[in-house]
Amino acid sequence: MTAVGDEIPAWRMAEVRAEPMQTMAALLRDPNPVHWDRASTHSRGLEGRLVNQGPINVGYLANMLMQWQGPTCIRRLKVQFPDRVLDGDEVNARGVVTGVDSDTALCEVWLERPDGSRPVVGQATVQLSRS
Query: From first to last of its 131 residues, what are the pLDDT tens digits of the chain?
Result: 999 999 999 999 999 999 999 898 889 898 899 998 999 999 899 999 999 999 999 999 999 999 999 999 999 999 999 999 999 999 999 999 999 999 999 999 999 999 999 999 999 999 998 76
Closest CA to 63 of 124, 19, 21: 124
pLDDT on residue 129: 86
Q: Which CATH number is associated with domain 7-17+52-127? A: 3.10.129.10
List the beta bridge partners of residue 33.
none
> What per-residue confidence (pLDDT) applies to 131?
62
Q: What is the pLDDT of residue 123?
A: 98
46: Cα separation from own chain's centroid? 20
Angstrom CA distances, 100 to 9, 89, 97, 105, 106, stand at 17, 33, 8, 4, 6
List the chain domain ranges. 7-17+52-127
